[in-house]
Structure 1
Amino acid sequence: MDTPALRKARGAFFTPPALARFIADWAIRTDLDTVLEPSCGDAAFLLPAIERLRSLGASPDLKDQLHGIEIHDASAQAALTQLSMHEAEGRIAVGDFFDQVPPKAKFDAVIGNPPYVRYQQFTGDARAKSLQAALAQGVRLTGLASSWAAFTIHASHFLNDGGRLGLVLPAELLTVNYAAQVRRFLLSRFAKVRLVLFEELVFPNVLEEVVLLLAEGTGGAPSFEVYQARNIADLERICADSWTGYAPSGDQKWTPALLPAAALEVYARLTEGSNFATLLDWGETYLGAVTGNNDFFALSRSDAARLKLKAGELLVISPPGSKHLRGMTFSQAAWEDLAKDSKRCFLFTPGAKPSAAALAYIATGEEAGVHHAYKCRVRSPWWRVPLVERPDLLFTYMNHDRPRLITNDAEAQFLNSLYGVKLKPAVRAIGRELLPVACLNSATLLGAEVVGRAYGGGMLKHEPKEADQLPVPSAATLEAVADDLRAIRPQLGQALRSTKPQRAIDLVDTIILERHLGLSPVEVAGLRGARDLLFQRRVTRSRSERVTD
């Protein structure tokens, strides 16, 4: 018996008929077209293909034109039964799609809904075969790729030169790093690439967002086109001038295509002009010190006293984690409050000749096996943590709402739960003072969503290279608005402490975006709305993970 749990395990999610019909109508152009539905299930796409072919004048039985592949035998038999009920014949092969070799006479249309299995469950022989199939097309996928990625690449191999590929894919095609190879492949393989995006969820009882991929021809495309639909009913209104083109640069994510056109125009105008820069223009972003075992190396004041460690064997640090960094400045007073509250504000850093107390603590670490941890055992001595340069700014790279830049007035060292930013000498003074304030603007907050990535639970993460690309006001802009930003610092601090960040954002937007850069309130509201849209998308995805895990 084919249960929902079994269908989920193999990534089978049944497609709304209207979506299947739309793709079939788009992909099938003549009465002689041959059609393949890989992973065909119970023929969700072959059935509207029958209607489309017959409407174009095809012969009644369609035996040589309808083809399917299905790994689940009972579903393959159900597909044949469905075709028979529609007085049509077809060829359904039972087996793994990744084991299939394209026939000499390839297909005019390959249409379907690939199985969607997240990488955590997509393992073993199934993953190995999928990666090999992608590699055969010159695409090396990463270990984070979900099942649909290799499926999309392999499916294109079954098309003839003028063929059309119409697939229902997860919206992560646009936004995740591991899909960069798929995005690059689509633009190099096809002459035209179009995507239909939906504002509303379109699969019943499934919270995963989807896009429709419509790709055709060969020879490469310099850009892709997007149609923003509200829901399935909007598909009926697509016309020639409905599409908006986007030309990505290199492996740049396609996330901007998710934005409303008006907001994208304002965002591009700001971030591509001289009034904004990237965080990389301000300085270097780098990961904090990696201890190998924070529980051993990060100590509280009472720990240090109990162990009788010398002051020279302890280093002031920002405690592990980032929850304590809520304002714009990490001050000496704030650090002292954390130390009084028994937070782990010291790093164990004995010198070349550890004291007797330090040696005793090292011995307890060895008794506990701390020295066997990977980061410990590959360094000599294992208890000497490699330090990084003290940063001017701290950067919270894993967040629910937004990344935070915090001035490191405590001059503290930091661990790998944070990034540090070392500012260039020419901009160090004003950057330390005001860049964390200036980054509370809607363009930067939108940029954080665009350049970052969604992780489990809806968390927004920035790798160092992604943090480098965060759009922030330029040094010239900061100089121009410095006095105004200084004047509102007390209000910003109060808003952030009272968990009302939007009040702080409104104040900064008024100064930087409206007064200085001349944006209208409508344009600023558009940036905020676009940021909220991307925020809600990743939150929705986190709910999807909870429902489907």
Structure 2
Amino acid sequence: MKFKADQTSQKLRGGYYTPQNLADYVTKWVLSHNPKSILEPSCGDGVFIQALNNNDCDRNINLSCFELFDIEARKASKRCSEFNFSNFSVTEGDFLVWANDQITKQKPCFDGVLGNPPFIRYQFLEKDFQEQTELVFKQLDLKFTKHTNAWVPFLLSSLALLKSGGRMGMVIPSEISHVMHAQSLRSFIGQVCSKVVIIDPKEIWFEDTLQGAVIILAEKKLAEDQKSEGVGIVNVSGFEFLNDDPNILFKNTIGINGETIAGKWTKAILEADELSLIKDLISHKDVHQFKDIAKVDVGIVTGANKFFLVDNETIDKYDLFQYAYPMFGRSQHCPGILYNDAQHNTNQERGLPTNFLYIKDEFENLPERAKAYIELGEAEEYHKRYKCRIRKPWYKVPSVYSSEIGMLKRCHDAPRLIHNQVEAYTTDTAYRVTSTFTNTNNLVCSFLNPLTAITAELEGRFYGGGVLELVPSEIEKLYIPIIEDFEHETCEINELIKQGKIEQVMRQQGQKILTRLGFSDSDNEKLMSIWKKLRDRRLRR
């Protein structure tokens, strides 16, 4: 967990300002609808005010701006005056306080919304701001989670204050399409908007940050019973798209209705024929959801991995052999799909922390050298960490068991299951998986195919660095083709994966398994293309 003390002032205030060319483009789209009133809920020093001027906006437009920081608010107000806007206000303070009061009145008051909301995690917000954030969700009758980010309630309240038929154009984090904490927002957008277009770049728009950003263009429904066209995603490279009319881009982008607007939006980048092939596959009787064929549980939560996960040198120094058990929890521990004696020995020779310490005895009953190690941990104040201090004794870790299958929480190219042949323990950087349908080897090898990799991309989430992350509830939604008594070339697959040839493995496994289900080689190639499109988008290739 990251704490406030570890964060830069820029991160804590969410101050990543929009490049002017992007602000101009978004503003052009909103203004083309001839709004009489505009809301800018987080105006900063006035980038979008500049954009209004650059687009020859009507100087009599009702312009309401909000900014938390006084210096920036004064800059924005000065711009409004310099550009001769005659009907503007720049309010210094928390926008959400004002917005919650307006939402209570249930009377939308703006024809257009522009901006770039602050990117601040809920845990870094001051208490008053946290309370206002929760109130937005409560007033809109939406599920709230403390994993949310400030930009989410800013979008929710802005949409709530947008009039029927109004337009919202904003630059927001790319995670809107897939993170779990934005699900309430996605559902609300699906409820109140007639169409949404996401402009998704290959590049990082904000310098000196890994934060991916997109443009969202949303049009609010004219009536509650109006049918939604759904969400469409446009992938762009560079800034050539800025030369095109945003209205034409919005009109020509096909929205995908139904499940996409209700759930995660990643599906919206796929073509209709690609979605059709995926649906045909997952409806096959031999293709199963993970939750129906296996159980997944988090790994061991130690509360202080540096204390509990140690190398052989530490074991020897403090004579901890009777408390040491094999473990793995990172990709460097297991580069293939087999965690066996050979891999474990290799890790030990490399000096990796391959030992998990499970000490159950009371302190007074421990050998002197073991006591010395625990005292060393207390000198480092590990016993004061939350997970450690709530258990007695602090060094006795709960829920210690191993499973035949492990799965790393994060991956680069594609997720994989690991056959845990040495009954090693795993920390919470990995999951413990148990097959309930087929033998372990079949599940581990069958997991490697383009369909499963595609569903992982659609169900998982990623952040600035592009690493794919899956939590148990998302893993349970993955689809896996299973053929009983299927013979896999397990050792060959393991070596290829270790050599970084995961595409070759995916293609080969897809050909072998999917053809047995009645699908063609061309279907498999199409799936490979879909998977690589989703993966490369995530990795910004």
With normalisation by structure 2, the TM-score equals 0.80
Q: Which amino acid in 2 is paired with 1:170?
A: P
Q: Aligned to 2:449, which of 441, 446, 451? A: 441
Q: Which amino acid in 1 is paired with 2:507?
A: D
User: Following TM superposition, by how much is the alpha carbon of 1:380 offset from its aligned partner in structure 2, in angstroms?
Assistant: 2.4
User: Following TM superposition, by how much is the alpha carbon of 1:288 offset from its aligned partner in structure 2, in angstroms?
Assistant: 1.9
**Aligned CA-pair RMSD:** 3.7
User: Following TM superposition, by how much is the alpha carbon of 1:180 offset from its aligned partner in structure 2, in angstroms?
Assistant: 1.1
- Relative distance call for 1:67 and 1:445 in structure 2 (3 A) is same
Look up the SS of the partner of 1:422 in the other structure: strand
- Partner Cα distance (2:339, 2:133) in 1: 46
User: Following TM superposition, by how much is the alpha carbon of 1:163 offset from its aligned partner in structure 2, in angstroms?
Assistant: 4.2
- Residue 547 of structure 1 corresponds to none
- Partner Cα distance (2:290, 2:498) in 1: 25
C-alpha contact 2:179 2:461 (8 A) present in aligned 1: yes
- Partner Cα distance (2:42, 2:399) in 1: 52
C-alpha contact 1:398 1:459 (8 A) present in aligned 2: yes
- Partner Cα distance (1:464, 1:215) in 2: 34
Q: Deviations over 1:48-89 (max 9, x none)?
A: 8866xxxxxxxxx763x432314322222213332x3xxx63
Residue 366 of structure 2 corresponds to residue 364 of structure 1: no
Gaps of 5+ in 1: 52-60, 542-549
- Residue 155 of structure 1 corresponds to 158
* Identity over aligned pairs, percent: 21
- Residue 266 of structure 1 corresponds to 277
- Partner Cα distance (1:221, 1:524) in 2: 39
C-alpha contact 1:133 1:150 (8 A) present in aligned 2: no
- Partner Cα distance (2:14, 2:399) in 1: 45
- Residue 96 of structure 2 corresponds to 98
- Relative distance call for 1:141 and 1:356 in structure 2 (3 A) is closer
- Residue 57 of structure 1 corresponds to none
User: Following TM superposition, by how much is the alpha carbon of 1:22 offset from its aligned partner in structure 2, in angstroms?
Assistant: 1.9
C-alpha contact 2:318 2:372 (8 A) present in aligned 1: no
- Partner Cα distance (2:491, 2:508) in 1: 11
Q: Which amino acid in 1 is paired with 2:64?
A: G
- Residue 171 of structure 1 corresponds to 174
Q: Which amino acid in 2 is paired with 1:436?
A: V
User: Following TM superposition, by how much is the alpha carbon of 1:138 offset from its aligned partner in structure 2, in angstroms?
Assistant: 3.7
C-alpha contact 2:136 2:153 (8 A) present in aligned 1: yes
- Partner Cα distance (1:514, 1:493) in 2: 22
Please tell me whether Structure 1 or Structure 2 has the larger radius of gyration of its CA atoms: 1
Which range moves more in the overlay, 126-135 or 262-271?
126-135
Q: Aligned to 2:263, which of 252, 255, 279? A: 252
Look up the SS of the partner of 2:496 in the other structure: helix
C-alpha contact 1:37 1:68 (8 A) present in aligned 2: yes
C-alpha contact 2:66 2:91 (8 A) present in aligned 1: yes
- Relative distance call for 1:155 and 1:387 in structure 2 (3 A) is closer
Which range moves more in the overlay, 330-339 or 349-358?
349-358
- Partner Cα distance (2:149, 2:172) in 1: 11
C-alpha contact 1:454 1:460 (8 A) present in aligned 2: yes
Which range moves more in the overlay, 144-153 or 297-306?
297-306
- Partner Cα distance (2:402, 2:205) in 1: 49
C-alpha contact 2:403 2:434 (8 A) present in aligned 1: yes
User: Following TM superposition, by how much is the alpha carbon of 1:200 offset from its aligned partner in structure 2, in angstroms?
Assistant: 5.3
Residue 373 of structure 2 corresponds to residue 373 of structure 1: no
With normalisation by structure 1, the TM-score equals 0.79
Matched residue count: 504
Gaps of 5+ in 2: 1-9, 68-72
Q: Give runs of aligned pairs for residues 14-93 of structure 1, distance below 5 A.
A: 14=20, 15-25=22-32, 27-28=33-34, 33-39=36-42, 41=46, 43-44=49-50, 46-47=52-53, 63=60, 65-71=61-67, 72-82=73-83, 84=84, 89-93=86-90
Q: Give runs of aligned pairs for residues 26-425 of structure 1, distance below 5 A.
A: 27-28=33-34, 33-39=36-42, 41=46, 43-44=49-50, 46-47=52-53, 63=60, 65-71=61-67, 72-82=73-83, 84=84, 89-96=86-93, 97-100=95-98, 102=102, 106-107=108-109, 109-119=111-121, 123-124=125-126, 127-128=129-130, 131=133, 134-135=136-137, 136-139=139-142, 141-161=144-164, 163-188=166-191, 190=192, 192-198=194-200, 208-217=212-221, 218-219=223-224, 225-229=230-234, 230=236, 231-232=241-242, 233=244, 235=246, 237-238=248-249, 242-248=253-259, 252-301=263-312, 303-309=314-320, 313-314=322-323, 316-350=325-359, 358=367, 360-369=369-378, 370-424=382-436
Q: Which amino acid in 1 is paired with 2:62?
A: L
- Residue 503 of structure 1 corresponds to 504
- Partner Cα distance (1:291, 1:202) in 2: 36
C-alpha contact 1:170 1:210 (8 A) present in aligned 2: yes
- Partner Cα distance (1:199, 1:494) in 2: 35
- Partner Cα distance (2:426, 2:294) in 1: 17
- Relative distance call for 1:37 and 1:518 in structure 2 (3 A) is same
Q: Give runs of aligned pairs for residues 462-473 of structure 1, distance below 5 A.
A: 462-473=470-481
- Partner Cα distance (1:364, 1:49) in 2: 67
User: Following TM superposition, by how much is the alpha carbon of 1:377 offset from its aligned partner in structure 2, in angstroms?
Assistant: 2.6
